Each structure stands twice: as structure tokens, then as C-alpha cells.
Amino acid sequence: MRFNKSLAVAGALGLAVLTASPALAEPAPEPAGTPAAPASTAPVETPSPEAPKTPAPKPETPKTETPKTGTPKTPAPKAPAEKASPKPAPSETASEKEVEQKGTISLSATTAKPGDIVTVTVTSTREAITAITSRGFSPSSWNVPGERKEYRFQVRVSDALGEHAVDAHFADRSNARAVLTVVAAEDEAVKPAFGFDTQEVAPGGRVKVQVSGDMRAGEVIVSSDLLGHPRTLPLQESAAKGTGTAFLTVDVASDAKPGRYPIRADFGRFGTVSSSIEVVAGKPPVKPVPVTGLDLKLEPNRVIAGQSYFAGVTTTNVKAGTPVTITDPGGKKYTAKVDGWGTARVKLTSPKGAKPGAYTVKAALPSGQSRSAKLTVLKRHPQTSLALILDPGKVYAGGKFDAIVATEKGEKTTATITDPNGKKFTVKVGTSGVAVKRFHVASSTKAGDYWFQARLADGTKAWAKLTVKPRYKASDYTLTPRGGAATGGGHSESTGFAGVALGGLLLAGGAGSALFARRRAGEAA
């Protein structure tokens, strides 16, 4: 009975607390270890088991209306939701599948220059290959014989620049395509070269350096232990086309150790060149020597296949007699010696089978310094040919010779003959296609080779060389005492020719004799 009363009291107290604190989210739990409410110490009558008394009714607690904002019941924790399994992707239908390729075409190179060789490979999965076409090829169309499903061939790239479609055609009129880009051929790079005022120097001395190479590089990087750190120098355009030059002064430290110091110039993709400077102990500084120069010109520089032309070399500060090597476009080498004026000249001929286009001629000195010039071979067009013949081609100083102009087509025209001094003489060409001019070589003329030029009104040119031999005996021509050969004076006896002085070297007379006139006995060697 006592236990039941205690429970009734505790329940009433809990209901009162919940009603009085509606703002609490949850009822505060009783702290652990809180003692239970003490039981009543008053004596209690023990009921008889035969007639148990009914417990007194619980006092009624006034009902209090719980506001809507009362404490919500704590929701029971929900079981974790099962993850939805991914839905299987819908199967592809036949209409969504890629259409099978009927063939492919591939190129060994997608970028090429005119004249390059490209390998083309075509493969078909169904139909036979019928043809391959492209404006980038020469020829532009290739027919495939038979029922072939694989075909490979090599073809030359045409001169048409730009992007060109390469199409492989199949028997069902479908095709496969590739793209070929044709780019212009790049001119050959100018060979890099060094020039020094001296390559031997004492500690504390100075070396002036010239480096030349391809102008397209824009700059050159020069490095050497004598410089301490690499130097980047801008290139300046020189007289030779496409060649850039830079100058540098190397100051050798006073405590530099004797030995050979490499020096290198880097033009990037246009090449490199290496040389060296030697530091010699106790050697006084060498007096600077002017840097050598080399230039190459072609005359004419535009020819047709089979036509001759001249490679003229001009040098600066090069000793007379120094050999210069000239290499033609075919790789054949010719050697000429520099004369007292620093020049050399070689006659070259374009091969008869040469194709139209640009070619390179090179000239090089023994030091390794070189220059190149561009030769253009043009398509052959019908034109009047011209020949200049000197008869005889070799004479002694004081002798005479005939300059004969001959044209292939017999018609009246005029021709201009230019002597080695640049003086011009005009002759009339008759219907026979021949004109002759008599020249007299002054007795004071030095032995050597002299070049004459003939030119027609349409611009056609021809050259011929006259060789003057040292005079060992007097000629049959009688000279008057006036002036004398030592002064470049003197003149021939009256022979019907009017003498004209040419810079003290040659004398030109009036109209010449007949074609290939016979020389006088006194002119014979």
C-alpha cells in the first residue's frame, strides 16, 4: 500500500512539471543517483488478507490545456533508407550505332614542299578502290586497276601552294579524304663564318671578331671563356643577299693563362660555327689587320637550261693569287685565283636538262669564308641566240684581233660591244647575221685575261675572253717614235683604221675585215 502511494505522488509531480514548462523541447532527465522520494514513517495498518481494503482514490489534478507549442514528441529514429540501385543503361538500338567506315586514306606527310615525294595508303572495308585525286599531286589523278581494296603508291607534290583535299574514291561512289598542305621551299641557309683581325694575342690584348650567317636568324649568340658570359648580338644586313653580320671586340684579361680558347657562334636553326683564339704568353699585341671580305655575283642570274653564265668573285684584303673555289648547283667545283684587284671570274653552264627553278652557286676561300648566290633557271622560250667570237682569242701586247658578233636569225639589227674598260661600240648586223669590229691592243697592255661583252637590242648578251700574252719579240707593226710604248703612246702605221684610246690599255679601230679574217703573219705566236 505504501509503495502504491509513492508511485501515485511521483506521477502527479511529473505531470505538474510537464504542464508548467511547455517551452522545453524534452523533459530534463533526472540526474543519476537521485534518491527516490522517502516513504512515510507513520505506522500503517496491515490489511487482513481476507478483506483487503480498496485504496483511496487519487486526488484529481486540475486539467490544464496544453498549448499547441507544447513539447513535440521525440520521433522514433527511422531505419536508413536503402540506396537505390543504378538503373541499367538502355541498350543501343541499331539506328544509334555508328555507321561503319567504308575506307581510310593516310599520307606519310601532311605538310610537304613542291617536288617532295609522299606515300599514300588507301584501305577499303567493302568496295573496291577506283581512283585517288588531289590538286596537291603531280599528276593530280591516279586510277587504281582491278578490284583492289588496299593500294599504296608514291607521288610527287605539285607546285600549287596551300591546303588540298586528297580523296580516295570507291566503287559505290563514296570516298575517304585526307588533307595535304603544300608550303613554299625555304632558301638554303647561309653558312656561318668567323673573321678575326688576329687569332693570336697576348694577355691584356684585344681581338676584333666578325661573325656572319643567315639574316633570317635575326641574332647570333657568341660564347667563349674569354668573354666570361655569352653575348647576344643583333645581325646587320650585309652586301651579300640574305647574309647578316655582327661585330664583337674580345678584351683578353691581363691574367689570362696561355692556351687555345674555343669561340662559338650559334644562329639557332640556321647553323653554328666554331673557331678559336690563342693566348700566347709574352707575345706583344698584333697590329690589327682589316677583316677579309668576299662577295659573289652571277651574270646573268636568270638563264635557261643549257645557257652559260659567269660567277664573279670580289674580295677585300685577300692576297693576290689566293685560290677561290666555286661550286655550281650540280656540286661540281671550279678553282680560280684572285687577281691583283681582288677579283676572280669563272664561266659556268646550266645543264641542258635542268628544270625551271631556283639553284645555289657557292664561292669559298681557303679560310672557310664563303658566300652564295641564287641562280634562276627559266622556261625556254623561242629567242634569237647570240655569239661573240674574238679572233684570235690570244694575242701579244701590240697585236690586233677581230670581235665577231653572230646571230642565229639573219635580220638587220644593231649590236653593242663593250670592252674591258666599259667603253661601248655599236656595230650593224646585216641580213647575214654577222658583224665584225677590229681592235688593236696597246703595246703597254699587261699580260692577262680581258672580257668583252656583246648585247643585242632585245637584251640578249654574250661574252668572250681575250688573253694578252707577254711580248717577247717585236711585232711587224711599225710604231712612230712619238710617245713610245713606255708611256702608253705610239700608234700603228696608217692601215685604214682610226685609233681610239681605251684607258691606255686597248685601241679600237674602224670597221673590221671579213668574218674570221686571216691574221697577219707577224701576229702569229
pLDDT at 52 over 90: no
232-262 confidence digits (pLDDT tens): 999 998 878 889 999 999 999 988 899 999 9
Mean pLDDT of 352-360: 89
**Cα dihedral 375, 377, 381, 386 in deg (nearest 10):** 40
Q: Is 441 in contact with 510 (CB distance < 8 Å)?
A: no
Place of cell 664573279: 312
Q: Quick count: other Cβ atoms within 10 Å of Cβ 411?
A: 11
Q: Quick one: three-class SS letters along 251-292?
A: ECCCCCCCEEEEEEEECHHHCEEEEEEEECCCCCCCCCCCCC
Mean pLDDT of 137-157: 88
Q: For the chain, give me the number of helices (H) and strands (E)?
A: 1, 36
Mean pLDDT of 64-76: 46
Q: Quick one: three-class SS letters along 291-334?
A: CCEEEEEEECCEEECCCEEEEEEEEECCCCCCEEEEECCCCCEE
Let me know if 350 is exposed, middle or buried by CB neighbors in 10 A (0-12, 13-18, 19+).
buried
Task: List the grid coordinates of 327.
Answer: 661550286
Give percent of the chain above pLDDT 90. Answer: 32
pLDDT at 405 over 60: yes
Mean pLDDT of 79-92: 46
Q: Residue 213 has what pLDDT?
A: 92
Q: Residue 323 has what pLDDT?
A: 93
pLDDT at 358 over 60: yes
Q: Which long-range contacts (CB under 8 A, 24 or more apart) does 45-54 make?
A: 47/1
Range in 52-61, 147-156, 401-410, 433-442 with the lowest mean pLDDT: 52-61
Mean pLDDT of 318-334: 91
pLDDT at 339 over 80: yes
pLDDT tier at 33 (50, 70, 90 boundaries)? Answer: very low
- As a residue count, the chain comes to 525
Q: Residue 519 has what pLDDT?
A: 37
Omega within 30 of 0 (cis) for the link into 392: yes
Determine the Cα–Cα distance for residues 88 and 90; give it in Å rounded to an integer.
6
Range in 90-99, 155-164, 222-231 with the lowest mean pLDDT: 90-99
Q: Residue 340 has what pLDDT?
A: 87
Query: Chain-wide mean pLDDT for the chain?
Result: 75
Query: Nearest to residue 183, comparing CAs of 115, 132, 121, 133?
Result: 115
487-504 confidence digits (pLDDT tens): 444 444 333 333 333 333
pLDDT tier at 30 (50, 70, 90 boundaries)? Answer: very low
Q: Residue 100 has what pLDDT?
A: 46
Give percent of the chain above pLDDT 70. Answer: 67
Top pLDDT among 388 and 98 is at 388
Q: Residue 289 has what pLDDT?
A: 57
pTM exceeding 0.85: no
Top pLDDT among 60 and 281 is at 281
The backbone torsions φ and ψ at residue 96, rounded to the nearest 5 degrees and listed phi first, read: -90, -10
pLDDT at 72 over 70: no
Q: Residue 211 has what pLDDT?
A: 93
Range in 111-125, 369-383, 443-457, 498-512 with the lowest mean pLDDT: 498-512
362-382 confidence digits (pLDDT tens): 999 998 889 999 999 887 655
Q: Residue 412 has what pLDDT?
A: 79
pLDDT at 153 over 60: yes
Mean pLDDT of 267-290: 79
Q: Residue 384 has what pLDDT?
A: 56
**What is the residue type of 317?**
N
pLDDT tier at 79 (50, 70, 90 boundaries)? Answer: very low
CA angle 480, 482, 483 (to 5 degrees): 120
pLDDT at 268 over 70: yes
pLDDT at 523 over 80: no
User: CA torsion sign, 172 to 173 to 176 to 180?
Assistant: positive
Range in 184-188, 232-236, 327-331 with the lowest mean pLDDT: 184-188
Q: Residue 92 has what pLDDT?
A: 41
pLDDT at 24 over 80: no
CA angle 53, 58, 62 (to 5 degrees): 165
